[in-house]
Homo-oligomer: A and B are copies of this chain.
């Protein structure tokens, strides 16, 4: 079974991918509006983790609609949620994946689908949506992240492959930088995975072991 994981290169989507890769063939998918090359960060992290990666581009108008939601609300959550749902629906419609996953955690308020949206997504596309971190709070995720990854705390959002960077770019270009500053929090650290915390040696010996038992 092939699982697609929405992947930003951050610690949560990396941990989610690692857990799923124990059970399924995992492919990492990063969404971009095509306004920047910020998906390259995620591509680099995917290569470090040794997992296949693809960049997928949002349809025209999606980033525009998300920006409008954020401007109407005066805060980003519902707009980010809209982008996340569009990304999930796009992957679900590809007809390549059995499982669709992300790195959303128990304590995340956004992006997050409510139960009826999850069931609707699964029924409409005949796909399985899983959230490997849905039952884990911050504390235990930090333990696992530090065990498996080398992390860098990053303030520069251009290093991030999540939705926020390009939607900020878009709003800044279309509505001005003041509008961006009104909607988004000023300072927000993002934990970026810079490498895995285990050696290639382990990978190779592990592989040898699998061959013996097969």
Contacts and interface: CB of A to CB of B under 8 A. Distances in A.
Interface of A: 1, 19, 22-23, 99, 106, 118, 122, 128-137, 139-140, 143-144, 147, 201-202, 205-206, 208-209, 212-213
Contact of A135 (B23, B131, B140, B205): B131
A143 B1 contact: yes
A208 B205 CA distance: 11
Contacts of A99: 140
Copies in the complex: 2
A207 to B, nearest CB: 10
B22 A22 contact: yes
A23 B144 CA distance: 8
B106 A128 contact: no
Nearest to A143: B1
Nearest to A198: B213
Contact of A209 (B118, B122, B209): B209
A195 B135 CA distance: 26
Contacts of A135: 130-135
A144 to B, nearest CB: 6
12 contacts: A1-B143, A22-B22, A23-B147, A106-B134, A128-B139, A128-B140, A130-B135, A132-B136, A134-B134, A201-B213, A205-B213, A208-B209
Given A209-B206, A213-B205, A129 B137 contact: yes
Nearest to A137: B128
A134 B106 CA distance: 9
B130 A136 contact: yes
Nearest to A106: B134
A205 to B, nearest CB: 5
